[in-house]
Amino acid sequence: MAEVLVYVDHVDGAVRKPTLELLTLARRIGEPVAVALGAGAGDTAAALAEHGAVKVLTHDASEYADYLVVPKVDALQAAVESVSAAGSLAAVLVPSSAEGKEIAARLALRIGSGIITDAVDLEAGDEGPVATQSVFAASFTTKSRVSKGVPVVTVKPNSTAVEAAPAAGAVESLAVTFSAQATGTKVTGRTPRESTGRPELTEAAIVVSGGRGVNGAENFALIESLADSLGAAVGASRAAVDAGWYPHTNQVGQTGKSVSPQLYIANGISGAIQHRAGMQTSKTIVAVNKDAEAPIFDLVDYGVVGDLFDVVPQLTEEINTRKG
Amino acid sequence: MSLRIVVTVKYVPDATGDRHFADDLTVDRDDVDGLLSELDEYAVEQALQISENSDDDVEVTVLTVGPEDAKDALRKALSMGADKAIHVEDDDLHGTDVIGTSLVLAKAIEKAGYDLVISGLASTDGTMGVVPALLAERLGVPQVTLLSEVSVEDGTVKGRRDGDAASEQLEASLPAVVSVTDQSGEARYPSFKGIMAAKKKPVESWDLSDLELEAEEVGLEGAWTAVDSASARPARTAGTIVKDEGEGGKQLAEFLAGQKFI
């Protein structure tokens, strides 16, 4: 059976959920071989094996932290060459983060392959893997293939449910020779983001967002309380971010993050096309807005026309009571 | 010293219009108005700011690959203040995928001559966000991408990249490829004077032969990916909408409980 390389997104050995989703999808088209790089790479093996990795290729070097993107491309290319030499390679899958897409693109060019980004589903096809994408602000669904080389596909978080499937997960060390370009862009400083204790926006099963109607940074506490009652991530519309009420890293929309949670709750958000582009693939959509004419109500499964300052605290209290 | 900046821009279908696909599953450009991709305005803005903040002689060239109408995008960038424009236009480019587009752009950038390439973070139609990385790979120069702050001094580009886990300070020697986010600074509106001046600025037109490229290397036939089908998303079934008359929050909780979210 052909191998499928899966690029592992991890933080000091803790594998992030989108990678486990990739392993689940990879098993539809072949045998997953995981590639884990950087500090803690070896510690990823148990989680990867639990989710179907037959093999885990690891490599650590200071280059991965000290320079931008290219060292990881060099390593992934080495992994492609080592797997191709040993057998057959069906595809390379990479999580659709900003960095993941850059790594995948450079790799695709180097190995002479086409690239598909932001797939929301993947299945085996007669002419190789078929990727489903959601385009034009999710108004169209396309099915695409890579027609040249080994398909390189990046997959959006929440594209599939994670399924465990224990496999050998044999750890092998990957031999990597860094290219001349590897040290081109130096990381001269790094300020870790303070953890809010909430789930990562793009990975969260539930996202609670606030927009213009929240009317001030201090009022985002209401949105955060609702999010915390549901164990959700907090999102913000561009209007709220541009007004300085919430950080840009939480922005949902065309110029921010694209999210696809099980449940999306939009509060005080009108639903301009730019925002819809970032949340329209959410499974269940709920909105609270004073304006009954707001376009967001065209998308919702359930909408409340009302003042969020009344509705949101009542909802939060009711959720907390029910959870008892 | 002089600094040559090439800004890559894209002419995209207006996202507020009714975007759809043509019969060959490429983007239908006939039925919807086009414009300069909003995210590219930030790239033009940063190029102009670097120019204004520099003691060196800086030339800002805007470059696009696209059909005849794409000149509108160049014109907008020129009216913002760019010095000149290059339009790569060729019938054989129809249907070119991202790998092919990066090839055409890289050839044009090399032919134009450059010290710095600046791009937006993604186009607002394809939204792939991979062209800057592909250009860096093709040109063999550092990529300093997704910057919310950028500065150029003494042959070095510095910037800040805000990721999910951390905010990183980056540095690379020129030549380099930079991409900027919408947090890099509000893009200016063209002034009346700028609009009038833009009419007189040079726009060069190049085709594939000018770039020593063959038709087979680009276009739908030369694409490394194939779209097999495109279907409009089924209309959502109308949801339940209630008016808050004092119990709106509780009613919503009831709905969420029914859906097993609570």
CB A147 within 8 A of CB A89: no
Residues of chain B contacting A288 with CB distance shorter than 8 Å = 248, 252
Residue A313 is predicted with a pLDDT of: 98
User: pTM score, two decimals?
Assistant: 0.95
pLDDT for B106: 98
Alpha-carbon distances of A257 from A83, A197, A209, B53, B126, rounded to whole Å: 33, 19, 12, 31, 15
For chain B, say whether A252 makes contact (Cβ under 8 Å): no
**Residues 116-155 (A) with a CB less than 8 A from some CB of B:** 116-118, 130, 134-149
Using a CB-CB cut-off of 8 Å, the residues of chain B touching A134 are 233
Query: Which has the higher per-residue pLDDT, B22 or A77?
Result: A77
Reported ipTM: the value is 0.95
Interface of A with B in 6-65 (CB under 8 A): 11
Judged against a pLDDT cut of 80, whether residue B255 lies above it is answered with yes
Q: What's at B106, amino acid-wise? A: A
Neighbouring CB atoms inside 10 A of B14's CB total 15
Q: How confident is the model at residue A281 (pLDDT cuts 50, 70, 90)?
A: confident
Q: Are strands A3-7 and A31-37 parallel, antiparallel or unpaired?
A: parallel
Q: How far apart are CA A57 and CA A79, in angstroms?
A: 8
Indicate if the pLDDT at residue A136 is higher than 90. Answer: no
What mean pLDDT is reported for chain A?
Answer: 95
Please count the other Cβ atoms lying within 10 Å of the Cβ belonging to residue A88: 11
Contacts of A324 in chain B (CB under 8 A): none
pLDDT at B236 over 80: no
**Touching check for A76 and chain B: CB below 8 Å?**
no
In this complex, is the C-beta atom of A274 within 8 Å of any C-beta atom belonging to chain B?
yes
Can you read off the two tokens belonging to residue A164?
A: 């465990």
Which residue is closest to B220 within chain A, CA to CA? A147
Interfacial A residues in 150-209 facing B (CB < 8 Å): 181, 184-193, 200-202, 206
Is the pLDDT assigned to residue A255 strictly greater than 90? no
Say what the pLDDT of residue B14 is: 87
Size of interface A-B (CB pairs under 8 A): 263
Q: What percent of chain A has pLDDT over 90?
A: 90
Average pLDDT over residues A41-61: 98
Residue A1 has pLDDT above 90, yes or no: no
Least confident of A57-66, A218-227, A273-282, B88-97: A273-282
A20 pLDDT above the threshold of 80: yes
Mutate to test the interface with B, among A146, A185, A283 (most CBs of B within 10 A): A185
Q: What is the mean pLDDT of residues A256-284?
A: 93
Residue of B nearest to A302 (CA): B240
| Nearest residue in chain B measured CA to CA from A67 | B170
- A96-109, pLDDT tens digit by residue? 999 999 999 999 99
pLDDT in tens, A299-311: 999 999 999 999 9
pLDDT tens for B129-176 read 999 999 999 999 999 999 999 999 999 999 999 988 899 999 999 999
DSSP-derived pairing of the beta strands A10-11 and A14-15: antiparallel
Q: Please give the pLDDT value at position B233.
A: 84
| Best to test chain B binding among A122, A304, A323 (most B CBs inside 10 Å) | A304
* pLDDT(A10) > 80: yes
Between CA A150 and CA A110 the distance in angstroms is: 11
CA distance A6 to A37: 12
C-alpha–C-alpha distance, residues A14 and A5, integer Å = 19
